Chain A
Amino acid sequence: MSYIPVIGLETHLQLKTVSKIFCGCSTTFGAPPNSQVCPVCLGFPGTLPVLNRQALTFGIRVALALGCGIQPRIVFHRKNYFYPDLPKDFQISQYDLPLGTDGFVEIGKRRIRIGRAHLEEDAGKLLHSAGYSLVDFNRTGVALLEIVTEPDLTSPEEAHLYLKTLRGILEYLEVSDCDMEKGSLRCDTNISLRPAGSAADSLGTKVEIKNLNSFKAVARSLAYEIQRQAQVLDEGGKIQQETRLWDDAAGRTEPMRSKEYAHDYRYFPEPDLVPFAVSPEEVEKVRGNLPELPPQRARRLIEQYGLSEMDARTLTASKGTADYFESCMKAAPASAKTLANWIAGELSSQTNARNLESVAGLPFPPGHLVELVGLIESGKISGKMAKEIFAEALSSGQSPGSIVYSKGLSQVTDPSVLQTAAQEVLKEHPQAAADYRTGKGQALMFLVGQLMRRTQGAASPAISQEILRKLLNDKEKRG
């Protein structure tokens, strides 16, 4: 039978406040274990949490950028469960009065609805060993914003695209590192299948997948889970409502076998925190400070630089990449199209190969790209040479201009210089010259290759061809 996947995503975003959400402990990443904890985040009796104002402002900023409405009154709740990464045995989170509700993220032409965005505190970190676990509470109490979609996604590819788009927006807001490796952006998924043709609201039993450490893992685990659930259903089985862990190395999900786990959180209002009223004035103030977001920026790039829709979308998907492009345009108004091609092509593939966040991370500053594109456009170097110079510049850190100068790589376009070299080539390869004259066109390409070799790649192919053809034709007439 064929099924339609019904997928929802929960994304946890670490907000980059310098102190934790309810106490003054530092949030610096990578500090020695248990060195950034205090009686408040350890949940000692008699201590009181106090909300970090900046965390609330960051939260409102994200919620607004996602088109959410901000609740005029927000309340924190205790989410009760036992797990060793939670010193208080409850997590301060939000329940029925979250910070923001009813937003959306646009992916292509589709709108993925955001059900809610709420503030909560992070849990500690567990290091699992054979037979025991070690606990580091440094992360306990770090401010998180949880962003929950409605079950609007229908494929692993769509989930991947949603995450990329969401991260793009979040980067522009500058409220988080958005670094999956450091755990500042984390994601859990919910997935169920419904038979094709069934009503859109007839939801199957859903499975939650955790332990997803990259966007790729999200897509792979969903693809695996779709196959697994379809097989269970096809064999007449029932899907167990459960949490499964993704094993990236094995490429499969496994049930999280934990007798300690219960989905009964018995939420109740956190008596240690007062309610918070968010005034319309405050909301408007935060809205007024929102930066230009990817869709607006793409539109501006199209108008301002005449970029194609596709180039504009590619460049603005990551803030670093769009900033890089605009720095280039400011440095020297080169051809926007050529710059965009280079950024979306060579620079992006190097960025991916090096696992960087954006092209801005490459050891190739905007000034170098402007120089390189300038060399191409003035005809000093060919596109092929430019690629070699780019590779050289990346490894040595030298500017393209100085590489061209020091290696004498400049493309020879002056016909008088090439003339002599071309005559020598014809003298050395009389057979090829004769072949051309008897109508074998490919002999010309061989001669062009010989001329380029003689000039160590400096001769432009177009001009080489032109000169050789002229020489051969002249000789023919004379002969």
Chain B
Amino acid sequence: MAISTKEVEYLALLARIQLTPQELERFAGQMDEILAYVEKLKTARTEGVSPTSHVLELSNVFREDKVEPSLPTEKVLANAPDREGPFFKVPQIIDPAG
């Protein structure tokens, strides 16, 4: 199966990364190789085997509904690129005018 540069472009958009035309070409090729490798898994016999959702043989790990201390607000905001008072500040996402 061949991954097109269009598909790589779409994935880049979803992942919010910017790629040059050269990178799009290169990654399309690399992804092809990765998929071909993973394709081998399809030859494994999996009848009667339920899909794995977790690698550990564990289930039902709970915590009780108890409040524990949170981080102080100053620490929460310590690495924020921008802030206003106790808030994180981010560029506008929705144009309120529609």
Contact = CB atoms under 8 A, between A and B. Distances in A.
A135 B59 CA distance: 35
Given A33-B87, A136-B87, A52 B92 contact: no
B26 interface: no
Contacts of B63: 24, 50-53
B90 A135 contact: yes
Contacts, number: 139
Contact of B60 (A55, A75, A271, A277): A277
Interface string B55-71: 11011111111111111
A61 to B, nearest CB: 14
Contact of B98 (A42, A132, A255): A255
Contacts of A53: 62-65
Contacts of A127: 87
B86 interface: yes
B22 interface: no
A133 B68 CA distance: 29
A100 to B, nearest CB: 18
B76 A37 contact: yes
A156 B96 CA distance: 26
Contacts of B21: none
Q: Identify which of B73, B77, B87 gathers the most chain A CB atoms within 10 Å of its CB.
A: B87
A17 B59 CA distance: 22
Contacts of B43: none
B95 interface: yes
A254 B67 contact: no
A75 B58 CA distance: 12
Contacts of A50: 61-63
Interface in A122-147: 126-137
B54 A274 contact: yes
B88 A137 contact: yes
B61 A274 contact: yes
Interface stretch (A260-268, A308-316, A337-345, A368-376): A260-268
Contacts of A75: 53
Contacts of B70: 25-26, 35-38
B59 to A, nearest CB: 5
Interface in A219-278: 245, 247, 254-258, 260, 262, 264, 266, 269, 271, 273-277
Q: Which 5 A-B pairs have the closest CB atoms?
A: A24-B68, A254-B98, A54-B65, A134-B87, A269-B53
Given A133-B92, A135-B87, A257-B94, 5 more contacts: A34-B88, A42-B71, A50-B61, A262-B13, A276-B59
26 contacts: A17-B65, A19-B67, A24-B68, A26-B70, A33-B73, A37-B71, A37-B76, A38-B68, A42-B71, A42-B76, A51-B61, A52-B62, A52-B63, A54-B65, A126-B93, A131-B92, A132-B89, A133-B90, A133-B91, A133-B93, A134-B87, A135-B87, A247-B98, A254-B98, A266-B14, A276-B59
